[in-house]
Chain A
């Protein structure tokens, strides 16, 4: 608890029991962590719980697809706590499903990001030479495409095929795949840099001297020392991924009707903001809160793990 950054030798990661204490003492990060957990819980368990709390006549709204023609563009009521959209679909249910989609896309992207970016970065940093050359050039190629452009291109070209063969889930996975192509080069670059600086430390040389194989050195000695960096980079990346997924869906390149996406919800309701402001503001609020929460959480994690950034 009394461990401070200044007490640590520079470059040393604080002892494990200290990082979450640091995180908890950072108020925005702690609140964000709670918010993220809450969003995760609501996205998974929210719709069924919500359904139990509704009157019997509204039992079918659970999937967020059922259209109740009596409540088109309805305001908040006992039947629809946050109202219903232009097709009479329950807004709260769709909001929860959309957050679930956001988090699911983020989960897939970050899994790919961690596996691809993390492993390739470790390999490039540890082996150097032609392996480094190959991986770094591949990352540079993807960096050449600014921002979301490559993801836009890929989703546009493969979108209809993904829908035809694999349905809505196919679209979701395509979006996640396209977005991970945008994410992993940065992860690889960060991990490679950190690996380079750790590789020359004595404990690595010692384990190599004791006969450890490259595989053992990378995964038993290097990986634990770059794990914090991977966790921080992935958390910070989530904020961007959530916005990017919403952007793609809004452009008609990502999640499609009847699926729910925060970007799609905003896009559909934006033209009628004057009459039904709630239908725009709720998803807008949800996405802003998610983005801010992951940014603060990522910053907090970085400060907790990396004494240099404090």
Chain B
């Protein structure tokens, strides 16, 4: 097990290097002189030199990269171009808890609904109910979120028109404001997880130990609960990483269309003002979230699966 874990940590170092290095390279190659932009038309060599130094742009690129990583390690994500001397963190700090809430809710929703749908489809394998569930899941998985959102809005508006209970379509803070965004953000993952869960269930149901359990007279219901479900849920751990990756990209679209002040929304706002450090910090944070999720699921898998542990 320790072998697996140490190998995992080694690859973590590589991934962290990749993410920070690529983010750095893109910002290093960014066109234009940010300091000149920042100073507007003013001719002030002293301030120019000061700002260049503050942003570390007077150093060779290797040193710049090392400074960047060093600052990151100390929790400094860099400084805003738009508001000189203001740390980027201050600009996106308010968005982090919002995005985190939205993401976690969507993750919990997609796992619970996806697993439920997958299990039901597997139990009803090759009946019309299986076909119906899996068709819906295929649609959720393959229809892009920005197509689902207007559809959801149209239905919501129709409900509102009819005087029936409807949901708010913008903003963040009240519980009912979270329902639509969470559903849309989770949609693709629900479809993805349901298909995986169904396959995983069917695979386990064909195993010898299930036949043994049935042969010794264990009722079907208990066999499913004790033997099939437990084993079928295990591979699900591995998709939490990709599922988080889905959520991270989806958050950009959902936050912007639903006007939710998360990091994706703030980052896109900053692009309009050419405040590149904000979008850099945001992509880095989101990438790190996925990296951490991958690490956690791998460790959880190592601990949960005796076969991996024994290696």
Task: Identify the A interface with B (CB < 8 A).
Answer: 137, 140-142, 144-150, 152-154, 156-161, 239, 243, 246-247, 250-253, 263, 266-267, 269-270, 273-274, 277, 280-281, 284, 287-288, 291-292, 295
17 contacts between A and B (CB under 8 A): A145-B18, A146-B245, A146-B286, A149-B283, A152-B283, A156-B267, A157-B29, A157-B280, A239-B142, A247-B146, A247-B252, A250-B253, A266-B146, A270-B153, A270-B257, A274-B154, A288-B144
Verify B279–A247 contact, CB threshold 8 A.
no
Cα A288 to Cα B142 in complex, Å, equals: 8
Q: A146-B286, A153-B26, A156-B276 are in contact. Are A270 and B249 (CB under 8 A)?
A: no
Q: Is B183 an interface residue (CB 8 A)?
A: no
Whether A287 pairs with B147 at a CB distance below 8 angstroms is: yes
Chain B residues positioned under 8 Å from A159 (CB to CB): 271
Question: What residues on A are CB-neighbors of B19 within 8 Å?
Answer: 144-145
Interface residues of B (CB under 8 A from A): 14-15, 18-19, 21-23, 26-27, 29-32, 142-144, 146-147, 149-151, 153-154, 157, 244-246, 248-249, 252-253, 256-257, 267-268, 271-272, 274, 276, 279-280, 283, 286-287, 290-291
Nearest to B158 among chain A residues (CB) is A274
Contact residues in A for B274 (Cβ distance below 8 Å): 160
- The answer to whether A284 and B147 have CB atoms under 8 Å apart is yes
- Closest CB pairs A-B (n = 9): A146-B245, A141-B18, A144-B18, A161-B31, A147-B249, A146-B290, A148-B249, A284-B147, A144-B15
Q: How many Å lie between the Cα of A122 and that of B84 in the bound state?
A: 48
Contact between B279 and A152, CB atoms less than 8 A apart? yes
Bound together, the chains give a CA A280 to CA B149 distance in angstroms of 11
With both beta carbons as reference points, the residue of chain A lying nearest to B252 in the complex is identified as A251
Inter-subunit contact B153/A252 (CB<8 Å): no
- Given known A146-B287, A246-B146, A251-B252, contact A156–B271 (CB-CB < 8 A): yes
Closest chain B CB from A292 CB (angstroms)? 6
A247 CB to nearest B CB, Å: 6
What secondary structure prevails in chain B residues at the interface with A?
helix
Are B18 and A152 in contact, with the CB atoms below 8 A?
no
Cβ B150 vs Cβ A150 within 8 A: no
Tell me, rounded to whole Å, the shortest Cβ–Cβ distance linking A99 to chain B: 15
Known: A146-B287, A147-B249, A273-B157. A243 touches B15 (CB 8 A): no
Nearest chain A CB to B162 CB, angstrom units: 13
**CA of A239 to CA of B31 in the docked complex: distance in angstroms?**
31
User: How far apart are the CA atoms of A147 and B246 in the complex, in Å?
Assistant: 7
CA of A137 to CA of B143, assembled, Å: 33
B157 partner, pick from A145, A146, A274, beta carbons under 8 A: A274
Contact in complex: B150, A273 (CB < 8 Å): yes
Q: Which of A148, A150, A152, A277 contacts B22 (CB 8 A)?
A: A150
How far apart sit A273 and B169, CA to CA, in the bound complex (Å)?
12
CB atoms of B245 and A147 under 8 A apart: yes
A274 to B244, alpha carbons, bound, how many Å? Answer: 33
Residue of A nearest to B31 (CB): A161
Find out whether the CB atom of B146 lies under 8 angstroms from the CB atom of A277: no
> Which of B32, B252, B280 is the one whose CB lies under 8 Å from A161?
B32
**B291 near A144: Cβ-Cβ < 8 Å:** yes
B144 contacts across to A, CB distance below 8 A:
243, 246-247, 287-288, 291
Do A288 and B147 have beta carbons less than 8 Å apart?
Answer: yes
Q: Provided the pairs A140-B18, A153-B23, A273-B157 are in contact, do residues A145 and B287 lie with their beta carbons within 8 angstroms?
A: yes
A137, A239, A251, A273: the one within 8 Å of B253 (CB)? A251
Closest chain-B Cβ to A29's Cβ sits at a distance in Å of: 15
Contact assessment for B252 and A158 in the assembled complex, using a CB-CB cutoff below 8 Å: no
Is the beta-carbon distance between B244 and A251 smaller than 8 angstroms? Answer: no
Least Cβ–Cβ distance between A149 and chain B, in angstroms: 5
Q: Which of B23, B31, B244 contacts A158 (CB 8 A)?
A: B31
Across-interface contacts of B23 in A (CB, < 8 A):
153
Give B118 Cβ to nearest chain A Cβ, in Å.
Answer: 20
A133 to B147, CA, bound (A): 41
Find out whether the CB atom of B153 lies under 8 angstroms from the CB atom of A247. Answer: no
A146 to B15, CA, bound (A): 11
Whether A147 lies near B248 (C-beta < 8 A) is yes
Highest count of chain A CB atoms <10 Å: which of B29, B31, B246: B31
Question: How far apart are A248's CB and chain B's nearest CB, in angstroms?
Answer: 9
Contact check, A156 vs B154: say whether CB atoms are below 8 A apart. Answer: no
Question: Nearest Cβ distance between residue B247 and chain A, in whole angstroms?
Answer: 9
CB distance B248 to A153 under 8 Å? Answer: no
Closest B residue to A149 using CB positions: B283
Q: How far is the CB of B263 from chain A (nearest CB, A)?
A: 12
Query: What residues of B have a CB within 8 angstroms of the CB of A287 in the complex?
Result: 144, 147
Say how far B135's CB is from chain A's closest CB, in angstroms: 12
Closest to B290 in A: A146
> Chain B residues near A153 (CB, 8 Å)?
23, 26, 279-280, 283
- Give the complex CA separation of A295 and B150 in angstroms: 23
Contact A157-B142, Cβ < 8 Å, known A146-B244, A270-B149, A287-B147: no
Question: How far is A34 from B299 in the complex, measured between Cα atoms in Å?
Answer: 47
A149 to B248, CA, bound (A): 8
Asked whether A250 and B244 contact (CB < 8 A) given A157-B276, A274-B157, the answer is no
5 extra interchain contacts, Cβ-Cβ under 8 A, other than A141-B21, A152-B249, A161-B31?
A150-B22, A243-B144, A246-B144, A247-B146, A292-B142
> Which residue of B is nearest A154, CB measured?
B26
CB-CB nearest in chain B for A253: B271
